[in-house]
A and B are shown apart, each in its own frame.
Chain A
Amino acid sequence: MPAEGAMQTKLEAPMREPAPSSEVAVALDGVRRRYAHDDVVALDGLDLRVRRGEVVALVGPSGCGKSTLLELVAGLQEPDAGTVAVWGGCAARERLEACAYMPQRDLLLPWRSALDNAALSLECRGIRRGEARRRAAPLFQRFGLASFERSRPQALSGGMRQRVAFLRTLLAGSPVLLLDEPFAALDSITRGSMQEWLAGALANEPRTVVCVTHDVEEALFLADRVAVLSGRPGRVVTEIAVDLSRPRPRRETLTDPTFVSYRERALEALEC
């Protein structure tokens, strides 16, 4: 029975497939973004490529424009110079369509149950509430939220709320996930277990992911590649390819000598 349920869910939360020819999912070229109202240049001369199915983590000091970068990719902002393309499409509508954006705060609606919060993204695509619930429910089983379907967000722990927010993002059905500091608000113990949970979830539902974090360890644990950004205005200082298979066992990975050397390199890049 559980196996059958798992099989079914693959069909219940379908991902809209991009054009099969394109291998580059996200491409940023010479991107500059300046905020006119306080005359701050958040990003300048930023280049980044994310391949299909790749998990890329961005780390950088606070205020280096990490969130701006995600909103640019998501189609929520436009660059002042340079180009941002998702599957080759530069128009905001194409980017909005191809990306599912998970904001820093969970932003769960207090008047909706956990299930209805996750189903919100389906409803926004014009699917009726009953049908949206029916499609979202199997994911609660698969992602460790069984029996929490009817709980109000106020009654859930921080980690549980992030899981619901992640399911909402997943159910948007977009091939690219943009995660903005998904676990920044959690205590360190919960954060560790949520990182493992997310790694498992991505193994279960492979997507192209751009994840922003200020935690080097989190970035290296989750990603295939880590891009280190400079202070404001942000640009990519160095890229570290993490040559360890995913998903990784957390405790073993954190003490692995290769992992430790990656961390050294990342911290060094952050300091200069």
Chain B
Amino acid sequence: MLSSTELRPQGDGGGGARIGTRAAWIVRRYWPSALLLFGSIAAWQALASVPAVDDLTLASPVEVAGAMRADGTLLLAQAQVTLVEVVLGLGVAFAAGAAAAVAMHLARPLREAAYPLLVASQAIPIVILAPLFVLAFDYGIGPKLAIVALICFFPITVNLLDGLRGVDPELLKLMRSLGASRLATLRRVELPSALPSLFSGLRVASTVSVIGAVFGEWAGADAGLGRLVLLGNNQLETPRVYAGIVILTLMAVTMFALTSLAERLLVPWSAGSAGGTRA
């Protein structure tokens, strides 16, 4: 697929050439990862083919691919359920985390009171909380959202708060000398400055959100990939379990990639993105 985009520039000049160099960059950047991935899959296949290894213990990549083809509709339907939990949970965490971080930034007493509690909330194992949430919110999407949101809230809040507090003090002095109101300083200087930091939090949150959704489904659910994996395990459907895990992993990687893409588009001045380093 990459090679076809690479071939295009010879045909249609300027715009295509840029796509070509971009594709070349992607190939150069990611070929070691791709190589490692294919190597691992090959090793996995080889290991699973050893007669001494029980098929129930380890499904080979070929068997996993077979399960994906055979149960494709089922897996996709369940993946959709989990994806909705992940995206909505992240949305809730983002709204709550952003509001909490801004409030804690603006009100120092609130920050001093709430920060230790925020850290303590991270010490509670989600595995223990999940069944309690199911008791409180019943089956359905409620407890899953609560768990995803709880697990994602911390990285979003802490990173955004750090970003807001880390603004160059000289810049704040400048805004004061320009007669800017507290709100104008927040909107024009502090929030934009904190965006790169917020996105680090969002990247972490986007990957752990999938783990949160799986925990939520394990505590009690009637649908979702997490539940499918758990049931498959009980029913000794090893290839289907592996297929579920592969899809969950792809989901987490995609969420991460989408967050990085959003960062590149919204924070082009950040050192982390390609635009900034070129200048």
B174 touches A107 (CB 8 A): yes
Does A72 reach chain B (CB closer than 8 Å)? Answer: no
Which A residues are in CB contact (< 8 Å) with B178?
A: 100, 120-121, 124-125, 172
Which A residues are in CB contact (< 8 Å) with B188?
A: 109, 120, 123-124
Q: How far is the CA of A180 from the CA of B267 in the complex (A)?
A: 30
Residue-wise interface mask of A (175-214) relative to B, using a CB-CB cutoff of 8 A (1 in contact, 0 not): 0000000000000000000000000000000000000000
Which A residues are in CB contact (< 8 Å) with B204?
A: none
Which A residues are in CB contact (< 8 Å) with B14?
A: none
Q: How far is the CA of A110 from the CA of B188 in the complex (A)?
A: 12
Which B residues are in CB contact (< 8 Å) with A121?
A: 178
Q: How far is the CA of A105 from the CA of B174 in the complex (A)?
A: 10
With A152-B269, A154-B269, A154-B276: A107-B170 Cβ-Cβ less than 8 Å: yes
Does A76 reach chain B (CB closer than 8 Å)? Answer: yes
Does B175 reach chain A (CB closer than 8 Å)? Answer: yes
B177 touches A99 (CB 8 A): yes
Category for how many chain A residues contact B: 20 to 34
With A76-B177, A120-B188: A154-B279 Cβ-Cβ less than 8 Å: yes
Chain B's closest residue to A165 (CB) is B174
B273 to chain A, nearest CB (A): 12
A233 to chain B, nearest CB (A): 22
A96 touches B179 (CB 8 A): yes
Does A12 reach chain B (CB closer than 8 Å)? Answer: no
Q: How far is the CA of A125 from the CA of B267 in the complex (A)?
A: 26
A103 touches B279 (CB 8 A): no
A residues 80-123 with Cβ under 8 Å of B?
Answer: 96-97, 99-101, 103, 105, 107, 109-111, 120-121, 123
With A154-B276, A172-B178: A111-B173 Cβ-Cβ less than 8 Å: no
B179 touches A76 (CB 8 A): no
Main secondary structure, interface of A, reads mixed
Q: How far is the CA of A68 from the CA of B16 in the complex (A)?
A: 56
Category for how many chain B residues contact A: 20 to 34
B residues 171-189 with Cβ under 8 Å of A?
Answer: 171, 173-181, 184, 188-189
Does A74 reach chain B (CB closer than 8 Å)? Answer: yes
B184 touches A100 (CB 8 A): no
With A107-B171, A109-B189, A155-B279: A74-B269 Cβ-Cβ less than 8 Å: no
Taking a contact as CB atoms closer than 8 A, the residue among A110, A124, A152, A155 that contacts B179 in the complex is A124
- By Cβ-Cβ distance, the 9 closest A-B pairs, closest first, are A110-B269, A124-B180, A101-B177, A124-B178, A154-B279, A121-B178, A111-B192, A107-B174, A111-B269
Could you pull out 30 A-B pairs where Cβ atoms are within 8 angstroms? A74-B177, A75-B177, A96-B177, A97-B179, A100-B177, A100-B178, A101-B174, A101-B177, A103-B170, A105-B170, A107-B168, A107-B170, A109-B188, A109-B189, A109-B192, A111-B192, A111-B269, A123-B184, A123-B188, A124-B175, A124-B178, A124-B179, A124-B180, A124-B181, A124-B188, A125-B178, A152-B269, A155-B279, A172-B178, A172-B179
